[in-house]
Amino acid sequence: MIMNSSRIVDPIAARICFLVRGFDGGGAQRDAILLANELQAQGFPSAIVTLQSSGPLRDLIRADVPVIDLGNGRKLRLAFAPAALRRLLVTARPRALVSSEAAANVLVILASRGLAKETRPSIVLREVASPLQARTGDPYWQNRLAYRLIRFAYPRADLVLTLTAGARNDLIDRFGVPAAKVANLGTNAVLTPQMRQRIGQLGRSPEPGHIVSVGRLSPEKGYATLIEAFAQLRRMRAARLTIVGEGDERGNLEALIEALDLSRDVSLPGHNPDPLSVVSQASLFVSSSSHEGLGNALIEAMACGVPVVATDAPYGPREILKGGGLGRLVTVGDAAALAQAMAETLDHPLESAVLQARAAEFSVEKSAERFIHLLQAAGIAGSAISAVPEVETTVSI
């Protein structure tokens, strides 16, 4: 459906718009949807702008949050996205445009460049990774390229939000983004009411010695180190390891498991639509990444009351675990230290209630409140409104 410019104004004028590349299941996309939903619920009119309108995450969007499809029913390539987005900004004039992921952040700057500040929306960039590490380690080449353009792009935004203090410091000290433009959210939209309900349903009946990790099977997740550490642990005690997720590293990891004679003790079950059903019954959760924007899976495990161990990956785990006070931190890539930390945590686990109290700070509700607070402090968002006009919720241009 092609909408004329006067009709486009109705769905998103004066709204806070979140730009996502699509709805295929990425963490940054999910976070943006949850934030948009919660802002709408709290009285801040929101909308979602996408380059592709199909995908499993589409069903997460509230019925009263409009979806603006720049691809007009097809996937819009990044090369053509700046022109389409610019037309939308000029025609519809949302209050603010919020993007996540480096490629989308650069896209927003290109699309808005040259527009008069008085007529364009406020530009808010969410940096959801650790930029120093992600510029070479991000699994998506578009993001790796975009990180090379941070010095050009990010200072042109009205506000840049990071998930950790470490990432904020890097943007200021290493990429030249003005300190006045960078704020640390310190949280993320991780725990939803539905997730809390599911955790309550599952309860806790941990299997002794069962260690779990969840994530994409890719090099930056450090699963080779985790498997090597588990091999050392297994020589000391009975245990088993489950790594939930799928990815290109499967073949290499399976070969390592066989080489270490761990086929009976290590399983790679693939993608699980309900990973909490596995995590909640574990005795230990391990995050072994080389870098983490924050660490949603780590937070979810803590919400289940599961003791955790993490590599000291820039920068999420250290900040989530308060410097190691809520879970042991080990050097990235050090299998021996990881094995020792796993053994010590299995023997002396932290109380579930302490972990759950910390995880509660990463709820969708608190993340949205912090997000709005920072936008208001920057003069971008006003007060909530009690009523939002009903609109057509999917619009193509």
Q: Once rounded to an integer, what is the mean pLDDT over residues 25-42?
A: 92
Q: At what angle do helices 250-259 and 223-234 cross, to 10 degrees?
A: 20
Buried b (16+ CB within 10 A) or exposed e, 286-316: bbbbbbbbbbbbbbbbbbbbbbbbbbbbbbb
Superfamily the domain 193-360 falls into: Glycogen Phosphorylase B; (3.40.50.2000)
User: 285 forms bridges with which residues in the sheet?
Assistant: 212, 308
Looking at the predicted structure, is the pLDDT value of residue 211 above 80? yes
Q: Once rounded to an integer, what is the mean pLDDT over residues 31-41?
A: 96
Residue 385: per-residue pLDDT: 52
Domain ranges in the chain?
5-189+363-396, 193-360
Residue 387: per-residue pLDDT: 39
Name the percent of the chain lying above pLDDT 70: 93
Structure-model confidence comparison of residues 65 and 381, the more confident one: 65
Q: Which residue type, as a one-letter code, is found at position 232?
A: Q
Least reliable range by pLDDT among 44-58, 139-153, 252-266, 284-298: 139-153
Looking at the predicted structure, is the pLDDT value of residue 386 above 50? no
pLDDT for 75-120, tens place per residue?
A: 888 778 999 999 999 998 899 999 998 999 999 999 999 999 888 9
- Tokens in use for 49? 């702008």
Residue 381: per-residue pLDDT: 75
Structure-model confidence comparison of residues 13 and 195, the more confident one: 195
Measured between alpha carbons, how far is 283 from 345 in angstroms, rounded to an integer?
9
In this structure, are residues 98 and 19 in contact, taking their beta carbons and an 8 Å threshold? yes
Structure-model confidence comparison of residues 211 and 54, the more confident one: 211
Q: Once rounded to an integer, what is the mean pLDDT over residues 52-71?
A: 92
In this structure, are residues 182 and 377 in contact, taking their beta carbons and an 8 Å threshold? no
- Backbone Cα Rg of the chain: 22
Residue 11: per-residue pLDDT: 59
Task: With H, G, I as helix, E, B as strand and everything else as coil, classify residue 25.
Answer: coil
Looking at the predicted structure, is the pLDDT value of residue 392 above 70? no
Whether 193-360 and 5-189+363-396 are alike in CATH topology: the answer is yes
Residue 281: per-residue pLDDT: 98
- Tokens in use for 349? 């686990």
- Tokens in use for 346? 């299995």
Residue 3: per-residue pLDDT: 36
Residue 280: per-residue pLDDT: 98
Q: Once rounded to an integer, what is the mean pLDDT over residues 215-235?
A: 97
Measured between alpha carbons, how far is 57 from 53 in angstroms, rounded to an integer?
10
Residue 75: per-residue pLDDT: 83
pLDDT for 345-365, tens place per residue?
A: 999 999 999 999 999 999 999
pLDDT for 293-322, tens place per residue?
A: 899 999 999 999 999 999 999 999 999 999
Q: Which CATH class is domain 5-189+363-396?
A: alpha beta
Looking at the predicted structure, is the pLDDT value of residue 231 above 90? yes
Q: At what angle do helices 364-377 and 27-41 cross, to 10 degrees?
A: 80
Residue 10: band (very low, low, confident or very high) from pLDDT cuts 50, 70, 90: very low
User: Residue 128: which of 185, 174, 172 has the closest Cα?
Assistant: 185
Residue 132: per-residue pLDDT: 82
Q: Which residue type, as a one-letter code, is found at position 119?
A: T
